[in-house]
Amino acid sequence: MNRSLRFQAIAFAAIRTVVNTMHRMVYPFLPIFSRGLGVELSTLSLALTGRSVIGMFAPFMAAFADRRGHKFAMFLGLALFTSGTALVVFWPVFPAFMGALVLTTLGKYIFDPPMQAYLGDRVPYEKRGRILAVTELGWSLAFVGGIPLMGFLISRGGWMSPFWLLTILGAASILLLNGMIPRDQQSVDPQSTLLANFQKVRRSRVALAGLAVGLFCSAANEVINLLFGVWMEDSFGLQIAALGATAAVIGLAELSGESFVGVWVDRLGKPRAVGIGLVGNSLAALAFPFLGQTLPGALLGLFLFYLTFEFTLVSSLPLMTEILPEARSTVMAINFSGLSLGRALGALVATPLFSLGMGTSAGAAVVFNLLALLALRQVQHGST
């Protein structure tokens, strides 16, 4: 792997840290934004609902990269992101904030799949896991670094100050991308239409199985993710202290999972790494009822659960980039939608299951992971 690609991977991680900081900062600072905008929390939640809906369908727009080129799609994503943050800078009212959430979410989901496909085109499959794991650091670094920085800015300059910085960094990311990525050289195949690429995915049993892996493991995570805060409060009566600790634990777990992928996924092989992650995540879920009897044990259980999930998810990305190389952006875009659909599925069953006890929720996570393992076997058989 040449030095230029290493630099690009680090730059992509930095760009994704900026984009993901905007995506992740809304929840911890929701009351502050509510007061600054002069709206009720219930009203602000409508904007978040709209963002969730956009997040499920926006990845399909990134599939245009298979026709227009990866640089074009990444540029479009960053342009939308920067336009969204600038909207709040120049028009600090609720409609602009809602528009910012939609535009920055569109930007994120349009940028990510072609970025992964771009590296998939240039990095040999046997080395691709490490390079993609580097770019995924942008997710955890946004949580452990970006959000504290935004909090510092808000404490000094008010609720609008993060949007000034994010707009500047978004514009700088566009300039960096323009100078770093060469013009797309591939010729456009007139037969390679958006519909044709979707049809390729639909007809590929391996691609569908790979998408199912992401969907089911994402559902398993959401079954726990959605209600762990309620569980912590019910179990220990320490809502503020416990949830503050879990934020640090989850951020460290995500960073650790991504780092482990960078070290191990290419050595183990992508399917094996995904399988190990799914088994580990199931074991972590089964340990919840036992570890959850004390606060330190509960935090350890959450750490192991999020670490193994992040390891599974990030290990699956290089695997997905090789399933249909002729339609990489389309596959990765649909994979993002599959992950969103999995979260929706997990959220649908999480609340009724939780009423039966945390052990039931953990059991459901294991069932989803077993379904993911069955789908993974289909990927392995189809690719041999």
Check residue 344 and give its pLDDT.
Answer: 83
User: In the predicted model, what is the mean pLDDT of the chain?
Assistant: 87
Q: Please name the amino acid found at residue 294.
A: T
Check residue 63 and give its pLDDT.
Answer: 66
Residue 265's H or E segment, with its range, is helix 239-268
pLDDT tens-digit series, residues 1-36: 577 899 999 999 999 999 999 998 887 788 889 889
The answer to whether the beta carbons of residues 139 and 258 sit under 8 Å apart is yes
Return the closest-CA partner of residue 274 out of 287, 283, 261, 285: 261
115 Cβ partners below 8 Å, 6+ apart? 12, 16, 70, 74, 135
Tokens of residue 356, six digits: 């039966």
Quick one: what percent of the chain has pLDDT higher than 90? Answer: 54
The answer to whether the beta carbons of residues 15 and 173 sit under 8 Å apart is yes
Cβ atoms within 10 A of the Cβ of 267, count?
11
The CA distance from 145 to 255, in Å, is 11
Check residue 64 and give its pLDDT.
Answer: 66
Instruction: Phi first, then psi: give them for residue 116, nearest 5 degrees.
Output: -65, -40
Check residue 277 and give its pLDDT.
Answer: 97
Tokens of residue 336, six digits: 């993002």
Cβ atoms within 10 A of the Cβ of 160, count?
16
Q: What is the mean pLDDT of residues 226-247?
A: 64
The answer to whether the beta carbons of residues 72 and 101 sit under 8 Å apart is no
Residue written as tokens 């969907």? 215
Residue written as tokens 């569980």? 231
Q: What is the mean pLDDT of residues 252-277?
A: 94
Cβ atoms within 10 A of the Cβ of 148, count?
12
User: Distance between terminal CA atoms of the chain?
Assistant: 26
The answer to whether the beta carbons of residues 59 and 113 sit under 8 Å apart is yes
224 Cβ partners below 8 Å, 6+ apart? 285, 288, 305, 361, 362, 365
Check residue 384 and give its pLDDT.
Answer: 44
195 Cβ partners below 8 Å, 6+ apart? none
Q: Which residue ranges form the domains of the chain, and what is each CATH number?
A: 3-180 (1.20.1250.20), 194-382 (1.20.1250.20)
What are the start-end ranges of the H helices in 269-327? 270-291, 295-321
210 has pLDDT over 90: yes
Angle subtended by helix axes 94-122 and 125-141, to nearest 10? 160
**Bigger pLDDT: 100 vs 50:** 100
Q: pLDDT category, 59, cuts 50, 70, 90?
A: low
E-only strand ranges, 134-196: none
Instruction: Tell me which range, 106-115, 166-175, 190-199, 235-244, is most confidently predicted by mean pLDDT.
Output: 166-175
pLDDT tens-digit series, residues 74-95: 999 999 999 999 999 999 999 9
238 has pLDDT over 60: no
Q: pLDDT category, 251, cuts 50, 70, 90?
A: confident
Check residue 237 and give its pLDDT.
Answer: 66
Q: Distance from CA of residue 96 to its chain's centroid?
A: 24
**Bigger pLDDT: 330 vs 317:** 317
The CA distance from 338 to 215, in Å, is 5
Quick one: what percent of the chain has pLDDT higher than 70? Answer: 88
Q: pLDDT category, 226, cuts 50, 70, 90?
A: confident
Q: What is the mean pLDDT of residues 338-361?
A: 85
Q: What is the mean pLDDT of residues 182-205?
A: 72
The CA distance from 298 to 35, in Å, is 33
